[in-house]
Amino acid sequence: NAGVTQTPKFRILKIGQSMTLQCTQDMNHNYMYWYRQDPGMGLKLIYYSVGAGITDKGEVPNGYNVSRSTTEDFPLRLELAAPSQTSVYFCASSYPPIYEQYFGPGTRLTVT
């Protein structure tokens, strides 16, 4: 099993550009999550999904969108990139017990 994979690993965006961060898991987990981690800080939940077709906002959803059309994939969309979205983005998945999350390697995004 590859676990949780994320692409790209690094990306530089100009202000106002859009992009999609990809996340795929091959563990058949129902739950998937997107977090952002700012330098020297803990992780903050952006969006989560409890199954295909179901998504909900986390603590910091503004400026992001998600979709969950399959169990495996949970892409995160940035529509109008802003410097405040410079961060490292982590995708995670879990299966009951739902709290034991497996994380991907992260995507380091810089918006200039």
Partner 1 sequence: GQQLNQSPQSMFIQEGEDVSMNCTSSSIFNTWLWYKQDPGEGPVLLIALYKAGELTSNGRLTAQFGITRKDSFLNISASIPSDVGIYFCAGPTGNQFYFGTGTSLTVIP
Question: Which residues form the interface with partner 1 (CB under 8 A)?
Answer: 4, 31, 33, 35, 40-45, 48, 50, 56, 58-59, 90, 92, 97-106
Contact 54, 32 (CB under 8 A): no
Mention every residue, 6+ apart, whose C-beta is less than 8 A from residue 9: 105, 106, 107, 108
Closer to partner 1 at the Cβ: 15 or 50? 50
| Min separation Cβ 110 and partner 1, Å | 15
Distance CA 50, CA 7 (A): 22
| Min separation Cβ 18 and partner 1, Å | 24
Amino acid identity at 32: M
Closer to partner 1 at the Cβ: 31 or 74? 31
| Min separation Cβ 73 and partner 1, Å | 18
Closer to partner 1 at the Cβ: 14 or 100? 100
Determine if the peptide bond prior to 75 is cis (ω within 30°): no
| Min separation Cβ 28 and partner 1, Å | 18
Closer to partner 1 at the Cβ: 16 or 51? 51
Mention every residue, 6+ apart, whose C-beta is less than 8 A from residue 87: 36, 37, 38, 109
